Amino acid sequence: MATSRRVARSNWATRDGRLPEGEVVVFDIDGVLADASARQHFLKGVRPDWDAFFERCNEDPLIEEAARLLHVIDDRYSIVLLTGRPVSVMDATIAWLGRYQLRWNLLIMRDYGDYAAARDFKAREIVGIREAGLVPVLAFEDDSRNVEMFQANGIPCVYMHSGYY
């Protein structure tokens, strides 16, 4: 298995130690590749327990159909995983990706102290992706607000129903 390391930004990691180049396909993780339904109870009520929600991310089962989709995308496209998970669970996320042998080139997570809405966080990271010379050509997302954000930024986005929203 390839080793990963953080590059460019503190909340970015690459699978092989170098940034991908050219056109990329963007995938969300929770609700798209990972079935986070067993963790949703942490978010119910007046005060969602985000720490407990994310601490258990390594227990999620894989969404098999999305994993298959990830693997059949032409190799000329690099895979960017853009997730609202905090960087504090980066190691657990990379281990989860390895357990399921998922294809990825760049993992982008929410940096320490970033409490922006997911839509704003991901929009900001799309700017960073483009500044790094990457060209997002398609995205897969389970939150309709993020689907709208991708589309507003000129990136076609496939909505994948998770049932969380």
> Chain centroid to CA 108: how far?
6
In sequence order, the 6+-apart residues with CB closer than 8 A to the CB of 55 are 89
Instruction: Count CA atoms closer than 13 A to 103's CA, side-chain side.
Output: 18
**Could you report the per-residue pLDDT of 80-124, keeping only the tens digit for each?**
999 999 999 999 999 999 999 999 999 999 999 898 999 999 999
Query: Domain segments of the chain: what residues?
Result: 5-159
What's the chain's Rg over C-alpha atoms?
A: 15
| β-strand partners of 82 | 108
H-helix segments, the chain: 50-55, 64-72, 90-99, 118-131, 144-152
Residue 45 pLDDT: 84
Tens-digit pLDDT profile for residues 67-87: 999 999 999 999 999 999 999
The number of angstroms, rounded, from the C-alpha of 132 to the middle of its chain's C-alpha atoms is 17
| pTM confidence score | 0.91
- CATH top class, domain 5-159: alpha beta
66, pLDDT greater than 60: yes
Which tokens sit at 82? 């853009």
Per-residue pLDDT for 7 more than 70? Answer: no
